[in-house]
Amino acid sequence: MQLVRVALDVPLPTLFDYRLEHATRELIGARVLVPFGRGQRAGLILEVGGAPQVPPERIKRVTQVFTGEPRLAPDLLDLMRFASRYYHYPIGQVVMGTLPQALRRARASPDPEARVALTPAALAADWSALPPRAVARRRVLEHLRAQGPCAPVLLRSLASTASRALKDLMAQGWVAPRVELPRDTTQGAVHSARSDLELTVDQDKALRAIEATLGRFAAWVLLGVTGSGKTEVYLRLIERVLARGGQALLLVPEINLTPQLEARLGARFPGAVLAGLHSGVPEAERLRRWRAAESAHASILVGTRLAVFTPLPQLGLIVVDEEHDASFKQQEGLRYSARDLAVLRAKHRQVPVVLGSATPSLETYASALAGRYRLAQLPSRAHSQLPSIRCVDTRAQRLREGLSSELIDALTRRLASREQSLVFVNRRGYAPALVCLACGWSAPCPRCSARLVLHLSETCLRCHYCGHEERVIGACPSCGNLDLTAAGHGTQRIEHALGQLFPAARVLRIDRDSARKRLAFERMQQRIQAHDVDILVGTQMLAKGHDFPRLTLVGVVNADSALYSTDFRAAERLFAQLTQVAGRAGRRDASGEVLIQTEFPDHPLYQAVQRQDYAAFAQLALAERREATVPPYAHQVLLRAEAPAREAVDHFLGRAARAGRRLSFRVEIYEPVPASVARVAGRERGHLLVQSGSRNELQRFVDAWAPCLSTREARRVRWALDVDPLDF
């Protein structure tokens, strides 16, 4: 009887001991059913052998090993172990949380396909080591090697004991069901398969440099201005990887960007099997795609952050597109950075990883400057000019519903020449607040420390933090004033104003309210492509990655607020956002124009945006970060807590701070503070920041500190550790 240690979806930082006859190390990564509490649970074997952690008589038996299912490969298990350690999240929850739903359930997963094939383990193994009497097993192996994937019934004729042999081979992890996807999962290819496109000198240089590192680890930063042809470089690299029989993993920040990219990949690689993995994929289909990747049938995997945990036996390249995007960081549960894990995975697997962006995160850029990552640059657009960017000083004039005369003139010119324009507004709704100018009252959310946003299209006041809705009131509840004012400009208000100014123009608003459903967004994109729209009004949803050929003007309406933010990353985000949105202008032959309305036209940030000089901005921002000793010049862990009562939060965090100070590590423990939005949906939120110049020291500190956090008081709050936090 052997001991196996099993990962279970239980919020405890441990593996669980079970007994299993004839268990060997081959079973590591296998899914099992085990008794737990009063029921049965699915888990994954992570260790075989070793000393039991509980008295042997209390160790129960494994109920069942799901022999027909794939096993998670050691490199993936290593990645999960690392994620559990580094992000201080229970190993069982990490492992089970990354699996498709069907593999978390306490029963055998539905077998999507009835074909079986050799696994990479079998291909790598030495078959002569099989015992001489294993005739049937040998025949099955030889047959699968010669014929490729095969339905199990067809194997029966190979030997009288072929079924038994197949079962054994599956238990051994040498044969596994092979899941196949239809070859073309994309609809309506928008881009043609132009692999004959002649690369620019810079693209060629970048490609050669990165290509030279295929087959070993290298972390590349591909710093290329918007429209410089970064995607083209990815495609060429993928081509090389596929030619060597490898798999490529492409991570993208947003589900909305995957259809465009999938279409482009599908058109370029019609012979390759492509799988897209993101939250919009239905569960059953997700399992199929996951297994297609796992059995190396799919050779290109495009996905959002969770896809970083997909098994890819032939992995040859990882690309993280728009690597600066905050959505690569998960904000709940396992608070991992898919970008950082992608680098780690590449290192484990000895393959290159490419982090692409026009505005890399300062952490990434600093790593490139320090020589930890390598830098490849595409300083100009592939086949058009960068747009001209100009600030419009709004102090010098009266705006018409938030719009300057320069922007109105520019819009007028685009309408006359039948070109498209985009007005970028960073707020949804009609106006960010409903205020009384007589007494200063503004409509608050009863459940959050936030103001309600006026939504005129839905005639309501809505909280953007908790979703609370109220009817629009007619009089100030504080002083009775009947004349309440809508303060500031949201997308609906700008949409309305544009409708009044240009009654003949077709105005389309795109924000999370109008594009709630994914199909709605796709339909809107089609309208834009079909030139069924003259002026787009939208939030950052529109800024990322999209390619609208007729768009030649971008106006930015109210960006200044980020300049006074206390968040040390606000400037970086603003720079990235403005660069991205400006990058939508003039991507085809027409030259683009960008107008940024601001009260601070001389601000160094806007100066750098105007010159489109990322390096200058980064240098400035990094100097400030160094001065302030914040990331990337320090490493951070945030202890977050929330509870209905402020007192419980303060008490918990206060105790945690004191417990931390009693430990002697070279870390700085700050005072607990309320979160930037202190109350959300009736829950008070606060946090405690711990910082250190050394990542290792910080990790050692948290290892020692975390056990002190689960006190009796801790039950009154919901708390979590956030390593490398992005949000405060």
* Closest by CA position to 548, among listed 495, 498, 590, 496: 590
Among 29, 152, 227, 360, the residue binding ligand ADP under the rule CB under 6 A is: 227
Among 59, 125, 171, 197, the residue binding ligand ADP under the rule CB under 6 A is: 197
Partner in contact with 383, chosen from Zn ion, ligand ADP, none, beta carbon below 5 to 8 Å by kind: ligand ADP
What interhelical angle do 695-709 and 646-662 show, nearest 10? 120
Query: Does the footprint of ligand ADP cover residue 67 (CB under 6 A)?
Result: no
Partner in contact with 580, chosen from Zn ion, ligand ADP, none, beta carbon below 5 to 8 Å by kind: none
Q: Which one, 359 or 492, has the nearer CB to ligand ADP?
A: 359
Per-residue binder mask for ligand ADP (CB under 6 A), 363-382, x = binder? -------------------x
Per-residue binder mask for ligand ADP (CB under 6 A), 319-338, x = binder? --------------------
* Closest by CA position to 539, among listed 500, 576, 581: 581
* Closest by CA position to 271, among listed 154, 366, 396, 182: 182
Q: Which one, 184 or 483, has the nearer CB to Zn ion?
A: 483
Q: Which one, 197 or 704, has the nearer CB to ligand ADP?
A: 197
Whether the ω angle into residue 632 lies within 30 degrees of 0, i.e. cis, is yes
Partner in contact with 439, chosen from Zn ion, ligand ADP, none, beta carbon below 5 to 8 Å by kind: Zn ion
Site for ligand ADP, residues 106 to 135, rule: CB under 6 A: none
Least separation in angstroms between CB 323 and ligand ADP: 12
Task: For the beta carbon of residue 591, count every other beta carbon within 10 angstroms.
Answer: 13
Among 228, 299, 359, 580, the residue binding ligand ADP under the rule CB under 6 A is: 228
Tokens of 692: 């250190």
Tokens of 432: 């960010």
* Closest by CA position to 31, among listed 78, 75, 64: 64
Least separation in angstroms between CB 227 and ligand ADP: 4
Query: Does the footprint of Zn ion cover residue 468 (CB under 5 A)?
Result: yes
Least separation in angstroms between CB 514 and Zn ion: 21
Partner in contact with 448, chosen from ligand ADP, Zn ion, none, beta carbon below 5 to 8 Å by kind: Zn ion
Among 41, 178, 230, 573, the residue binding ligand ADP under the rule CB under 6 A is: 230
Residues 656 and 638 sit within 8 Å (Cβ to Cβ) = no
Query: Does the footprint of Zn ion cover residue 463 (CB under 5 A)?
Result: yes
What phi and psi values does residue 643 have, to the nearest 5 degrees? Answer: -165, 160
Tell me the helices (H) and strands (E) count for the chain, helix number first: 20, 30
Least separation in angstroms between CB 607 and ligand ADP: 24
Alpha helices by DSSP H, listed for 464-584, are 491-501, 518-529, 570-582
Q: Which one, 567 or 589, has the nearer CB to ligand ADP?
A: 589
Query: Does the footprint of ligand ADP cover residue 232 (CB under 6 A)?
Result: yes
- Dump the DSSP string for 265-318: HHHH-TTS-EEEESTTS-HHHHHHHHHHHHTT---EEEESGGGGGS--TTEEEE
Among 231, 394, 558, 577, the residue binding ligand ADP under the rule CB under 6 A is: 231
Q: Which one, 310 or 580, has the nearer CB to ligand ADP?
A: 580
Query: Does the footprint of ligand ADP cover residue 543 (CB under 6 A)?
Result: no
Length of the chain: 728
Among 82, 127, 217, 465, the residue binding Zn ion under the rule CB under 5 A is: 465
What one-letter code names the amino acid at 495? E
Q: What is the C-alpha to C-alpha distance for residues 397 and 407, in angstroms, rounded to an integer?
A: 12
- Identify the burial level of 146 via C-beta atoms within 10 angstroms of its C-beta, where 0-12 means exposed, 13-18 middle and 19 or more buried: exposed
Partner in contact with 224, chosen from ligand ADP, Zn ion, none, beta carbon below 5 to 8 Å by kind: ligand ADP
Partner in contact with 466, chosen from Zn ion, ligand ADP, none, beta carbon below 5 to 8 Å by kind: Zn ion
Give the DSSP letter of residue 725: -
Task: For the beta carbon of residue 198, count every other beta carbon within 10 angstroms.
Answer: 7
Query: Does the footprint of ligand ADP cover residue 226 (CB under 6 A)?
Result: yes
Query: Does the footprint of ligand ADP cover residue 200 (CB under 6 A)?
Result: yes
Give the interface segment with ligand ADP, choosing from 21-29, 193-201, 454-462, 636-644 (CB under 6 A). Answer: 193-201
Among 14, 397, 478, 526, the residue binding Zn ion under the rule CB under 5 A is: 478
Residues 230 and 199 sit within 8 Å (Cβ to Cβ) = no
The C-alpha angle with vertex 261 and arms to 259 and 535, in degrees rounded to 5, equals 70
Least separation in angstroms between CB 443 and ligand ADP: 41
The C-alpha angle with vertex 176 and arms to 173 and 180, in degrees rounded to 5, equals 150
Least separation in angstroms between CB 516 and ligand ADP: 27
Partner in contact with 706, chosen from ligand ADP, Zn ion, none, beta carbon below 5 to 8 Å by kind: none
Query: Does the footprint of Zn ion cover residue 479 (CB under 5 A)?
Result: yes
Torsional class of 430: left (φ above 0), alpha (ψ -120 to 50), beta (otherwise)? alpha
- Dump the DSSP string for 385-406: PPPEEEEEEGGGS--BTTB-HH
Residues 46 and 28 sit within 8 Å (Cβ to Cβ) = yes
Q: What is the C-alpha to C-alpha distance for residues 577 and 529, in angstroms, rounded to an integer?
A: 22
Q: Classify the C-alpha dihedral 700-337-339-347 as positive or negative.
A: positive
Among 59, 159, 199, 657, the residue binding ligand ADP under the rule CB under 6 A is: 199
Site for Zn ion, residues 480 to 499, rule: CB under 5 A: 481
Partner in contact with 193, chosen from Zn ion, ligand ADP, none, beta carbon below 5 to 8 Å by kind: none
Q: How many residues bind Zn ion (CB under 5 A)?
A: 15
Tokens of 419: 């070109």
Q: Which one, 23 or 463, has the nearer CB to Zn ion?
A: 463
Least separation in angstroms between CB 473 and Zn ion: 11
Q: Which one, 264 or 685, has the nearer CB to Zn ion?
A: 685
Least separation in angstroms between CB 274 and ligand ADP: 18
Q: Which one, 228 or 577, has the nearer CB to ligand ADP?
A: 228
Residues 392 and 423 sit within 8 Å (Cβ to Cβ) = no
Tokens of 216: 């070993």
Distances in whole angstroms, Cα of residue 382 to Cα of each of 232, 287, 592: 10, 38, 15
Least separation in angstroms between CB 470 and Zn ion: 10
Those residues with Cβ within 8 angstroms of residue 64's Cβ, 6 or more apart along the chain or in another chain? 32, 33
Site for Zn ion, residues 429 to 458, rule: CB under 5 A: 436, 438-439, 441, 445, 447-448
Give the interface segment with ligand ADP, choosing from 98-106, 120-128, 199-207, 341-349 (CB under 6 A). Answer: 199-207
Query: Does the footprint of ligand ADP cover residue 316 (CB under 6 A)?
Result: no
Spell out a b/e string for 255-283, using b for 16 or more CB atoms within 10 Å of the CB, else e.
bbbbbbbbbbbbbbbeebbbbbbbeebee
Q: What is the C-alpha to C-alpha distance for residues 465 and 445, in angstroms, rounded to an integer?
A: 9
Query: Does the footprint of ligand ADP cover residue 579 (CB under 6 A)?
Result: no
Q: Which one, 36 or 430, has the nearer CB to Zn ion?
A: 430
Q: Which one, 5 or 468, has the nearer CB to Zn ion?
A: 468
Give the interface segment with ligand ADP, choosing from 219-227, 345-353, 423-431, 625-633 (CB under 6 A). Answer: 219-227
Query: Does the footprint of Zn ion cover residue 369 (CB under 5 A)?
Result: no
Tracing tokens 């036209």 back to the chain, one arrives at 601
Among 183, 208, 216, 383, the residue binding ligand ADP under the rule CB under 6 A is: 383
Q: Which one, 200 or 577, has the nearer CB to ligand ADP?
A: 200
Least separation in angstroms between CB 297 and ligand ADP: 27
Task: For the beta carbon of residue 659, count every other beta carbon within 10 angstroms.
Answer: 16
Q: How many residues bind ligand ADP (CB under 6 A)?
A: 15
Which residues contribute to the site for ligand ADP (CB under 6 A)? 197-200, 203, 224, 226-232, 382-383
Which residues contribute to the site for Zn ion (CB under 5 A)? 436, 438-439, 441, 445, 447-448, 463, 465-466, 468, 476, 478-479, 481
